Amino acid sequence: MVGNCRAALIGSVLLVQGGFAAQAADIAVEVSGGAVLTATDADALRRPASLTKLMTAFVAFEAMQAGEIDPDTPVTVSKFAADRPPVKLRLRAGSEIAFAEVLGAAVVGSKNDAAVVVAEAVSDSETGFVRRMNAAAARLGMTNTRFANATGLPAAGQQTTARDMALLSRALLLQFPERAGLLSRRSVTALGRRVPTTNPLFGRVEGAQGLKTGFTCAAGYSIAALVEREGRRVIAVTLGHRRKADRLRAARGLIDAAFQLPATARVLAAAPPVKGTPPDIGACSGAPAALMATDISPEEKALYAAELAKARSRVNWQTARPEIGTAAPPVVRRTIRAPAPVAPPPPPPLSGWGVFLGAHPTPAAAQSHLKAAHRKLGLRGTIRTERRQRDGRVLALIYGLDQSTASALCKATARYCLTISPARLLNKRAQWRR
C-alpha cells in the first residue's frame, strides 16, 4: 500500500530522471517513534561523501557530553588538517581556533580542514577518531556503513545506506537534542567570517530544519533532511543523484509524500549486512553545458568567456600571415654570428578542462607527479605548475583536456585528483588555488 501510494505521488520524479534509471536510494521516517513512512532501495550501498560529517558531529557531541573537551577549548591546527583538499575554511597550520567554531564550520559549512581539526582535537589523530566513528556506527545498528576519514573525501572502503543515515540522523536528534541545534543553523561564524550552510532546502521546502548535504563525483549529490510541519518531524534521506537539481526534486517529492502518508507498523531498525561495493554515480560526467548550468556561477561564466576571447586573439595574432601583395621588408646584411639560444615557446593559455593533482612541497615533486599522470594520458594536455602564495607549495595541473579525459584520469588514479571545469580553471580566486 505504501509503495503504491508513493508511486502515485512521486514515482515520475524518483524512478526516472532525464531518461535514465534513477541511481538514488531513499527513506523517510518519523523522528518520534521511528516509523518508516516510505523507502526505496534503502539498503543499497552508496558512498557517504560529506554526510560522513554527521558522524563526525555525533562523536564530537559524545566527547563534549563526556567532558573530554569543552566548546571553548582552543585547538591547534595541524599541517595535515590544513592541507586537506577543498572545500576548506583555509585554516593555517599552527594557528588556534575554538573547538565550537571549528565544529560549526565542519558541520554547517562542510569544511574538510575543519572536520580533521575536530577529529584530532578529540582523538589526537584522524585515524583514532575514525575508530570511534565506526564503533559508534556499530552501536547505532549502522550495519552497512564504514567510515575511512572524518570528512567524506574519497577513500577506499567508505560506504553507507539511506537506512543507516536515517538511523544516525535520528540518533543525533534524540540523544543530543540541544547540541543537534547546530545541524539546523543557516550559518555559523568561524575566524570572524560568516560560514553559510550548504543545505539547499532552506527557503525552498516548507518546514526545512537542516541536517546535512554530501557530494563527490563518485557519490553523487545526497542529503539527509529534517523537516517539521504542524509539530510533526520527519527525516528524509536520498542518496546518489547525478545533479543538484535531481537531488532537490527527489528531496521535495520524498518529503511531500512522507507527510501525506500515515505512519506504518514498520519501525526503523538495523538491516542485515549487504555484500558488494557502492556504484560510481559519475556526477562529474555528462554534457559540459549541463555542468555549467548547475555548478558554475554567472560570474565564473563571464570570466571564462572573457579569458577565452583573449586567448584566442593572442593565438590569431601569433599565427597571422602577411596578406598577398604586401611589400617585403628591406634586407639588412649583417655579420654572421653564432645563433643566439632560442627561448622555449610559452605554454598555451589556460583553456579546456583541467586535472589538479594537489599541492607538493617542491617543484621536482610536482613535476614527477605530473609526468607520471601525463604518460597515463598519452601525453595529452599541457603540464603546468604554480607556486601557492599562502604557503609556497607547488600546485600541479594538467589542462587543455576534454571533460571525459579529465574525469577518466581522476577515476583511474589512486592519489588525490580533482577535475577542474573551464571556468574554475581560469578563476584566479578559485578554491583549488588557495
Catalytic residues: 50, 53, 110
Rounded to whole angstroms, how far apart are CA atoms 406 and 286? 12
Residues 6+ apart with CB under 8 A from 353: 288, 399, 401, 402, 403, 405, 406, 419, 420, 421, 422, 425
Separation of alpha carbons 142 and 45, rounded Å: 12
Residue closest to 149 by CA, chosen among 126, 165, 180: 126
Taking a C-beta distance cutoff of 8 angstroms, is the pair 109, 195 a contact?
yes
Let me know: does 420 contact 410? Beta carbons within 8 Å: no
Taking alpha carbons only, the member of 54, 43, 35, 44 closest to residue 258 is: 35
Cell of 301: 561564466
Indicate the angle between helix axes 112-123 and 99-107, nearest 10 degrees.
130
Find, among 213, 214, 215, 261, the residue nearest to 234 by Cα.
Answer: 261
- Give the sign of the dihedral formed by CA 308, CA 310, CA 312, CA 318: negative
For the CA atoms of 283, 285, 288, 289, the dihedral, rounded to the nearest 10 degrees, stands at -50
Q: For residue 46, list its beta bridge partners.
A: 160
- Beta-bridged to residue 322, according to DSSP, are none
Task: Give residue 315's identity as a one-letter amino acid code.
Answer: V
Distance CA 185, CA 183 (A): 6
DSSP labels for 366-400?
HHHHHHHHHHHTTS-SEEEEEE-TTT-PEEEEEEE
Q: How far apart are CA 141 and CA 123, in angstroms?
A: 23
DSSP state of 408: H
CA dist., res. 73 & res. 100, Å (int): 8
Using CA atoms, how far residue 256 sits from 38, 111, 331, 421, in Å, is 11, 30, 82, 35
Measure the CA–CA gap between 270 and 282, rounded to whole angstroms: 29
